[in-house]
Chain A
Amino acid sequence: MKRDWLPLLLIPVLGLAALPLVGSAASWVTLTVAGLAMGLMIFIMASGLTLTFGLMDVLNFGHGAFIAVGAFVAASVMLALAPWMTADSLWLNLAAIGPAVLAAVVVSGLLGLAFERVLVRPVYGQHLKQILVTTGGLIVAEQLLKVIWGPEQITLSRPTALRGAFLLGDIAIEKYRVLAVVVGLVVFAGLALTLNRTRIGLLIRAGVENGEMVEALGYRIRRLFVGVFAVGSALAGLGGAMWGLYQETVTAAIGAQVAVLVFIVIIIGGLGSVGGCFIGALLVGLTANYIGFLAPKVALGSNILLMALILLWRPQGLYPVAKR
C-alpha cells in the first residue's frame, strides 16, 4: 500500500545504527556512499526482474545473462575507445562511456526480446519448467560469452575523470560512486514517474495486481509484458556495464554472481514491488559495506541474515504485492 512508510525508515535506522559501530564519521560517510552506490547498481539490475515477475508471474533465472552481456559489450566498446578513456578530459571520457553504455543497453535489451520469445514464452504458467529453462538459458549464455569474448577475464580501468575521490576535509568519496548514485537515482525517478504518471505505468501497476482483469478491460497484457521484459533486460545491461566498470574486471560468471544479490533484493522487497526492490537494494548495499568494514569474514553472508530477518518480520517481503 502507498501509505506504508515503515520499511523506508529501515534505511536511516540502519545507517544510524552503523555510525557508533564504525566509529569515525569520515569512514562512515565513505561506507555509506559506497553502500548506496552498490545498492543503486543492484536496484538498476533488479527492477526489471521484479516487474516481470509481478506482471506475468515469470521469474527469469537467467536474468544474470543480461547483466553479463551488458558488462562485456560495454567493456569491448570502452577498450576500443581506449584513447578517449585515458584522455585527460571529462568530455572525451564521457564520449567513450556514453556509446559503451548505450551499446550495452541496446544489446541486452534485444537479447531480452530473443530470450522472451525463445525461452520464456513457451513455458508460461509452468513454474518448474520456467525455472529449468531459464537456468538453461543462463548456462548457454555464459558459454556463448566465452565463445565470443574468450574464457579469460577482461580488465578495464575507469576513465581518468572518474578515478580518485572527492576530498571533503578528511572524508573521501570515490568519484565513480557518486556517478553510480546519480545514475541509480535517475533510473529510480524515471521508473517511479513512468509507473505513477503515465498510462503505461498505470497499466503495469494494474497488471501486477491482476493481469486477467487488465485483459478483460481490453488491453493486450502480453505486449506490455514483452516491453517490460525488454526494458528490464536493458536495465540489467546498464547495471552490468556499471558493475563491470566498478569492479574493473569482467568475467562470464559476473551474471550468476550478481544475480544472487538481485534475487535477495527482490525477495526482501516483496516479489513484484519496485518500491520494495529499491529499499531492499539499498539495505543490501549498505549492510554489505558496513559489515564488510566491521567483520569482513562474514560480509557476504550478511545478506542472507538480512533477508532472514526481513522475512521473519514480513514473510512476503517489505511490500507484498496485493494479488487478486
Chain B
Amino acid sequence: MADKVAPKSHASGKFSDPKSEWPLWEVFIRGQHGMSHRHVGSLHASDTEHAIKNARDVYTRRNEGVSIWVVEASNISASSPSDKGPMFDPSRDKVYRHPTFYDLPDEAGNM
C-alpha cells in the first residue's frame, strides 16, 4: 500500500489532511464472564494495539470489562435504514414461531 502520504502540518487555522487523522475504531466489551461482547462506543487510534489501549482507558475506568474487541469502523458493513421494511417485516407475521401461538390444554402440563 502507498504509505508515503506524509501527514500535513497540524498548525491551527487549517484543517489537517483527513489521512493524518487516526482512524476510527468501534469498541466492544465483555462486561462479565459468560456474557457476550457489547458495543460501547468508538475512538480514534493509530493501530489495533493502540486502539485496545485507548479502549481500556476510555471505556473501562470502572471495572466495566473483562475483555475488549476493537474493529476499524471502515470494516463494518451495516444494513441500511431504508431496507428496514423488506429486511425485518417478513418475520413479523410469523407468530407461529413463538410458543404462545400454540394453545394447549392445561392438563398437558407445563411445556
Specify whether A and B are partners: no
Question: What is the interface of chain A, defined by CB distance below 8 A to chain B?
Answer: none
Chain B residues packing against A (C-beta within 8 Å) = none
